Amino acid sequence: MTRKRHPSARTTPQLRREIQQSGESNAALAFRFGINPKTVAKWKGRPTTSDARMGPKQPVSNVLNAAEEALIVVFRKRTRLPLDDCLAYLKPAISDLSRSALHRCLNRYGVSRVPKGLRQMAPEKEDRKDYGRFTIEMHALPVETGRYLYTAINNHTYFVFSRVSKEVSAYATAALLSELINHAPVKVRLVETNNHEAFANPKGGPSDPEFPSIVHPFYEACLDNEIFHCVTKSKNPAPKMVSKGWRGVPRRRELQGS
């Protein structure tokens, strides 16, 4: 799409192209076209004839931090709810969140509009007996923070719970589950995670075959609270930063009980 010319611009795209193709000096071109020599130098040094975008090169929020932005994007991709619904469900978790800040965040990450295919495949609400089902994910925050974001979203009520941690470990996920149990509005009956070692043993089962006497902390926390743990198959379960756009958003997943 062609960007509109700035209303205060003294040059047109045709004039800029002529400047770029000319071999005359900046002073000679400035005198001939009646413009400032600095303007001539500017357009000679640019590869295009379009006005440069104003504002910061990489826009950032003055209201939201990296963890809050990641939580917003994860929730949007998981639920695919409209803007106002996202605001209503995320407001308790992010007290400073406003509708405009939410909209700008979704725009920055390219998820302001849900594609038709994904909108039709939006997760359906569970039966009443499955109100206690939560999806737990972990994501890497920007490298400079050195932290990770854990999120838990209820598949029916869309209750959101999150924690930021300095490490990725089985003890951190077990602590997250204990906090989730205390804060969730419904009883946690089932949790769905990927097969990262922080959630489950790579070889399956409650303990590592090399250390059979040591039970996986997350598995033990589920067992103590009578919570069923479903594990999604993933070839690369390592935590990654929240990506922009809808690419890679899952539609169907195969579950494995543990």
Is residue 94 located within the same domain as residue 209?
yes
Provide the 3-class DSSP secondary structure of residue 115. coil
More confident residue, 168 or 1: 168
State the residue range of the domain holding 26: 13-44
Is residue 37 located within the same domain as residue 108?
no
Q: Residue 189 belongs to a domain with what CATH number?
A: 3.30.420.10
**Residue range 27-49, pLDDT digits in tens:** 999 898 888 999 999 989 888 88
DSSP states along 181-214:
HHH-SS---EEEEES-TTTS-TT-SSEETTEEEE
Percent of the chain whose predicted confidence (pLDDT) is above 90: 39
Query: Quick one: tokens of 197?
Result: 């070692």
Structural domain contains residue 49: no
Structural domain contains residue 7: no
Structural domain contains residue 253: yes
Measured between alpha carbons, how far is 47 from 169 in angstroms, rounded to an integer?
49
Is residue 162 located within the same domain as residue 228?
yes
Output DSSP code: residue 37.
Answer: H
Q: Which of 124-128, 159-163, 193-197, 204-208 has the lowest mean pLDDT?
A: 124-128
Q: Is-contact 39 10, C-beta < 8 A? A: yes
| pTM beyond 0.85, yes or no | no
Q: Is-contact 97 87, C-beta < 8 A? A: yes
> What pLDDT was estimated at residue 239?
85
Measured between alpha carbons, how far is 79 from 76 in angstroms, rounded to an integer?
5
Is residue 154 located within the same domain as residue 253?
yes
Is residue 178 located within the same domain as residue 95?
yes
Structural domain contains residue 171: yes
Structural domains in the chain (count)? 2
